[in-house]
Structure 1
């Protein structure tokens, strides 16, 4: 178990878990989780782990007979794994399909207090002791994925990495899926699309999109990571999130000295030195980051129109101003390319639907598949959690009330649409404290949002 706890790469997590399974001898009719809990309880950290999980499992929200229901989740990012965990806590048989076979994303996620407390309830601190310490309100994406993957394995979720969803398949009046490589899955009751912005599930099942909402003419963002050597000098750097509105002199000095014109700048110190910033299009053109000025934003930020040398020089200047030592090089991705990216958040994307009924089955969307995040507000991971909880509650209502005729299913889907409307406008201050909430959306969304379900 200690090797499983400390494992970092996906291969190490899965191989150490297999070693755990080989060691644990479950009694006839006993599941691995129960056997593991009994045999590992004397290990201090295991005792804390199982106490946290049991406290959650024993909540009345999860006291429903769902063991004969099968849920398949496409995507093993935070949204997909959180949905899988919640549905497994409700007793469902859960299969997760993820086309990647690695977890290497360096980006750091801003977490609302609600999300921090939720993850603590999932024993996050057992696997990552620094989590939620003091005023720290963020976590690296790969750290979060490691935690959620380990919890998923412990509670009996079937994880399938290196498997790509290809298309839906109609078998009579039932929907199944085609994947590469092919999987033998049980009949699906609910299929969950957690495959992010540009979701294949959205396209394959023809979810309707709302018109893109324009924020301003051109809004560009840059994320980048520098290696953290954990030197004394680096440890003294302070994290911050600032905007031009409140730090005009700071931003003006950046522009005057380096020709770097920003609206916002965020710096987090984690496993890497992580930055997010919003430069103006003009400053990127003036610094020759863009090779030419193009008519559309997609053409402007295409890889063919970006000078990587100029872009690296641009972000290095920002890092120098913040105080990142020259000895810290730009971090590399798993493909050994510089971990720096330009993206467009001029428009937000959302689907008009978050659930579709293919009676008696449902197809649901969570996370970025239904609502693209707006990073300046730090909404991505937080709204992903809310959508996972809302989807799990929908599933619970179907099971606990026996509402499985076509009209009843549609009624529950309509109610899920109402919670989506509130979720997509939620911010940290509009969500009630986690300790005062349950799985029911009524308990989470304040400001007069009542009557759901």
Structure 2
């Protein structure tokens, strides 16, 4: 490891660490982290391994911190010391993760713990998604063990449902990723996979980006950009649409001022599938929904699935085209009537609204969802290989009201990372076969089907056998 020169440590290092912990957006967090590195005397320092950065930062700031902030390092220390990480199986493997959503960042963090050289590409400059993600207990346990409750004191405080906003989860995982040595490039888009050149000037697989990051050889690349994925096609992975009955959605949110009246309102999830009586009562006031979920965090958050005929009857949509994607076109939606529709729902639910809705409400169509036929492939050219994997919504779009998106996303992220960790240990055929088996299990996981998941969630780790009850057949 690099020898720390204590003379280069700034007296403001404690405040720099506090500013890093307090940062609440992508660019703010990156800037605060760079300032922390400077105050630690680590600007431009070369590490033998990326994860060494964590121990250098720890050695400088730990004894200047209060109990709560020290707890973050205690949790991460415990993680580094788990048996599955001790041998650092991704050492000398360079991996690019495309997309800094929750699933992409979770994969990046795991790769870094395993010793990998990880680069994350994020084309945006801001984390702005306030939609709230339902978290299964094992996901809460996983995030808590990474310091989520230290980094965000209100993490999963609800007594009714575990949930967190996408934006907040991204901020939490971004901070962990930076601490454990992940390179994160904001405002940087993935362009293409660059295969080895015949003339030998670049005899390896690399990644073209805009703007271009340093050209290096990559062992693997993971696509985590959602439905706009650009990796599947060049990797020879087909994506297909599986259609259900027409499914329309409305999302709205507005600030939670935490008044006594607001805090008394109970969170809820009402679904027609379970014939919830409140949906029947809602019809009496002219609102006809298939499902509605209300979560309370920094925002009051509602997402609902209205029915076409009800939207027509209330003037929310002007015309009645046969295709749902045409139904929700902005030119066919009356914002005034949509606002009145949602206001009626909020009032029926008894949620006090002290402020305006945070953004223009949107009516969207999620009737057609996509999934990949397989989760991974191996590209080969001039005796070089690149392992390509899809994770998150790039792999399998969830049905939002089932509440399984983050659970499946984290399972898939860990499975993809395990495949990369096993490169050079198992044959390519075995790697792909194991990844495919895990993908099939992941697709079956739902609120009503958990029998293929191990019951002791505290023992879950990156190894699929710690999470699944199924057997992984040997490839002969």
Query: Secondary structure in 1 aligned to 2:214?
Result: coil
Q: Quote the residue 2:12 is aligned against.
A: none
TM-score by length of 2: 0.87
Q: Quote the residue 1:25 is aligned against.
A: 41
Unaligned ranges ≥5, structure 2: 1-16, 198-202
TM-superposed CA distance for 1:411, in Å, is 2.4
Q: Quote the residue 2:291 is aligned against.
A: 264
Q: Quote the residue 1:16 is aligned against.
A: 32
- Contact 1:97–1:164 (Cα < 8 Å) also in 2: yes
Q: Quote the residue 1:153 is aligned against.
A: 178
Summarize the Cα distance change of 1:121–1:435 in structure 2 as closer, same or farther, 3 Å threshold. Answer: same
- Contact 1:222–1:279 (Cα < 8 Å) also in 2: yes
Matches within 5 A, 1:220-235: 220-235=248-263
CA distance in 2, matches of 1:232, 1:200: 47
Matches within 5 A, 1:123-134: 123-133=147-157
Aligned length: 436
For 1:262-291, what per-residue CA distance to the aligned partner results, in whole angstroms no more than 9, with x for missing partners? Answer: 111110011111011111111111111112
Matches within 5 A, 1:36-435: 36-42=57-63, 43=65, 44-62=67-85, 63-133=87-157, 135=159, 136-172=161-197, 174-210=204-240, 212-216=241-245, 218-246=246-274, 248-257=276-285, 259-332=286-359, 338=360, 340-359=361-380, 360-399=385-424, 401=425, 403=426, 408-428=427-447, 429-430=450-451, 431-432=453-454, 433-435=456-458
Q: Quote the residue 2:10 is aligned against.
A: none
- Contact 2:235–2:378 (Cα < 8 Å) also in 1: no
- 100-109 or 390-399, which moves further after superposition? 390-399
Query: Secondary structure in 1 aligned to 2:417?
Result: helix
TM-superposed CA distance for 1:65, in Å, is 4.1
TM-superposed CA distance for 1:229, in Å, is 2.1
- Contact 2:235–2:379 (Cα < 8 Å) also in 1: no
CA distance in 1, matches of 2:111, 2:227: 22
- Contact 1:25–1:35 (Cα < 8 Å) also in 2: no
TM-superposed CA distance for 1:413, in Å, is 1.0
CA distance in 1, matches of 2:289, 2:463: 41
Unaligned ranges ≥5, structure 1: 333-337
CA distance in 2, matches of 1:416, 1:32: 31
Summarize the Cα distance change of 1:271–1:143 in structure 2 as closer, same or farther, 3 Å threshold. Answer: same
CA distance in 2, matches of 1:300, 1:452: 47
- 180-189 or 323-332, which moves further after superposition? 323-332
- 419-428 or 365-374, which moves further after superposition? 419-428
- 176-185 or 146-155, which moves further after superposition? 176-185
TM-superposed CA distance for 1:184, in Å, is 1.2
TM-score by length of 1: 0.91
- Contact 2:206–2:216 (Cα < 8 Å) also in 1: no
TM-superposed CA distance for 1:249, in Å, is 4.0
Query: Secondary structure in 2 aligned to 1:398?
Result: coil
TM-superposed CA distance for 1:227, in Å, is 2.2
Q: Quote the residue 1:335 is aligned against.
A: none
CA distance in 2, matches of 1:289, 1:125: 41
TM-superposed CA distance for 1:392, in Å, is 1.2
CA distance in 1, matches of 2:158, 2:251: 25
TM-superposed CA distance for 1:94, in Å, is 0.2
Summarize the Cα distance change of 1:123–1:413 in structure 2 as closer, same or farther, 3 Å threshold. Answer: same
